[in-house]
């Protein structure tokens, strides 16, 4: 089963929790055992599994990436000013794969799935959710 969800982002850099949408897709697929892959389409966004309890962790991720990959100093910035967004997205990566255990996403208590926006705001980020059963 495959489903595309669309996320609207409202900041240049932020993490957006998409866990509920992924869990819904897994439930709809009715797969007892397998994997779910979450993949963002685009070269300036990423997908990350991170702590869900405290939003400061998500802010820390964005702050950390801003410190190690600053804006405005890359060759690509001469093209369209988003060289840092490409590097951040490449470092984090466009997707995650998670086991499905007893028809549920196999996250731990403190894990959620986040769309990482590095070049927003965007009206339409497409995330592909692919569910494969064993």
Q: What is the pLDDT of residue 31?
A: 96
State the pLDDT confidence band at 16, using cuts at 50, 70 and 90.
Answer: very high
- The whole-model pTM stands at 0.96
State the pLDDT confidence band at 97, using cuts at 50, 70 and 90.
Answer: very high
- Tell me what the pLDDT averaged over the chain comes to: 97
3-state secondary structure string across the chain: CEEEEEECCCCCCEEEECHHHHHHHHHHHCCCEEEEEEEEECCCEEEEEEECCCHHHHHHHHHHHHHHCCCCCCCCHHHHCCHHHHHHHHHHCCEEEEEEECCEECCCCCEEEEEEECCCCCCCEEEEEEEEEC
Query: Which CATH number applies to 2-133?
Result: 2.60.120.460
State the pLDDT confidence band at 47, using cuts at 50, 70 and 90.
Answer: very high
Q: What are the sequence ranges of the domains in the chain?
A: 2-133
């Amino acid at each position: 089963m495959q489903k595309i969800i669309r996320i609207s982002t409202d900041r240049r850099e932020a993490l957006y929790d998409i866990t509920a949408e992924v869990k819904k897709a897994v439930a709809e697929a009715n797969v007892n055992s397998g994997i779910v892959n979450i993949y963002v389409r685009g070269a300036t966004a990423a997908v990350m599994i991170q702590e869900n309890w405290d939003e400061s962790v998500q802010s820390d991720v964005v702050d950390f990436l801003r410190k190690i990959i600053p804006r405005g100093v890359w060759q690509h910035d001469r093209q369209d000013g988003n060289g840092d967004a490409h590097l951040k997205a490449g470092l984090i990566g466009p997707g995650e794969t998670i086991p499905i255990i007893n028809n549920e996403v196999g996250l731990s208590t403190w894990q959620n799935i986040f769309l990482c926006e590095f070049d927003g705001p965007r009206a339409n980020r497409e995330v592909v959710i692919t569910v494969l059963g064993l």
